[in-house]
Amino acid sequence: MALVAGVDIGNSTTEVCLARFSGRNIEFLAGGLVKTTGIKGTTANLPGIINALEDALKKAGLTMSDLAEIRLNEATPVIGDLAMETITETIITESTMIGHNPSTPGGIGLGGGRTVAFSELSAVRAGEKVIVIIPGGIDFEAVAAALNTAHQRGVDVQGAVVRQDDAVLIANRLCKKIPVVDEVTFIDKVPLDMLAAVEVAEPGQTIKTLSNPYGIATVFELSPEETRLVVPIARALIGNRSAVVVRTPQGDVKARTIPAGFITITGRRGKVDVDVEAGAVRIMEEVEKIQPVQDVQGEAGTNVGGMLERVRQVMSELTAQPLAEMKIQDILAVDTFMPQKVQGGLAGEFALENAVALAAMVKTSRLPMQQIADQLTARLGVKVVIAGVEANMAIRGALTTPGTAQPLAILDMGGGSTDAAIVTRDGVVQAIHLAGAGDMVTMLINSELGLDNIDLAEDIKKYPLAKVESLYHVRLEDGTVRFYEQHLPPAVFSRVVILKDGEMVPIPTTHPLDRIRHVRREAKKRVFVTNAVRALARVAPTGNIRHIPFVVLVGGSALDFEVADMVTDSLAEYSIVCGRGNIRGSEGPRNAVATGLVLSYPDGKA
Do residues 474 and 551 share a domain? yes
pLDDT at 309: 86
pLDDT in tens, 405-417: 888 999 988 777 8
More confident of the two residues 342 and 134: 134
**Number of independent structural domains in the chain:** 4
The residue segments making up the domain with residue 162 are: 90-253
AA letter at 198: V
Q: Ramachandran region of residue 348, left (φ > 0), alpha (ψ -120 to 50) or beta? A: left
* Residues 114, 188 within the same domain: yes
Whether the per-residue pLDDT at 555 is higher than 90: the answer is no
Q: Are residues 281 and 410 in the same domain?
A: no
Determine how β-strand 473-476 pairs with β-strand 481-483: antiparallel
User: H-type helices in 280-407, by residue range?
Assistant: 280-290, 303-319, 367-380, 390-398
| Alpha-carbon span 185 to 164, nearest angstrom | 8
- At 455, phi and psi to the nearest 5? -65, -40
Confidence check: pLDDT of 605 > 50: no
Mean pLDDT of 223-232: 83
Report yes or no: 7 and 388 within 8 Å, Cβ to Cβ. Answer: no
Give the chain's mean pLDDT. 87
**237 and 306 fall within a common domain:** no
224 falls in which pLDDT band (50, 70, 90)? Answer: very high
Of 440, 594, 24, residue with least CA distance to 581: 594
Q: Is the dihedral of CA 328, 329, 335, 337 positive or negative?
A: negative
* Residue 180 sits in the same domain as residue 305: no
Q: What is the pLDDT of residue 368?
A: 73
CB 431 within 8 A of CB 419: yes
User: Ranked by mean pLDDT, which of 130-134, 303-307, 335-339, 388-392 comes out on top?
Assistant: 130-134
Shared-domain flag, residues 135 and 11 = no
Give yes or no: residues 357 and 341 share one domain. Answer: yes
Q: What is the pLDDT at residue 442?
A: 92
Q: How far apart are CA 70 and CA 68, in angstroms?
A: 7
Shortest CA distance to 436 belongs to which of 86, 36, 81, 85?
81
Q: What is the CATH number of the domain that holds 306?
A: 3.90.470.30
Rounded distance between C-alpha atoms, residue 82 and residue 11, angstroms: 15
What per-residue confidence (pLDDT) applies to 95?
A: 43
Residues 430 and 574 in one domain: yes
What does the pLDDT read at residue 94?
A: 46
Burial 365-394 (b: 16+ CB within 10 A, else e): eeebbeebbeebeeebebebbbbbbbbbbb
* CATH code of residue 18: 3.30.420.40
- Are 434 and 571 in a shared domain? yes
User: How do residues 382-411 score in pLDDT, each as one tens digit?
Assistant: 999 998 888 889 999 999 999 998 889 999
Q: Does 431 score more than 80 pLDDT?
A: yes
293 alpha-carbon distance from chain centroid: 25
Kindly state whether residues 542 and 569 are assigned to the same domain.
yes
What does the pLDDT read at residue 126?
Answer: 94
User: CA–CA separation, 46 vs 373, rounded Å?
Assistant: 9
Do 286 and 230 lie in one domain? The reply is no
pLDDT exceeds cutoff 80 at 86: no
pLDDT at site 604:
44
pLDDT band at 603 (very low <50, low <70, confident <90, very high): low
- Predicted local distance difference test score (pLDDT) of residue 347: 57
User: What CA–CA distance (Å, rounded) separates 123 from 169?
Assistant: 25
pLDDT of residue 252: 58
183 and 299 both lie in a single domain: no
Is the pLDDT reported for residue 59 higher than 80? yes
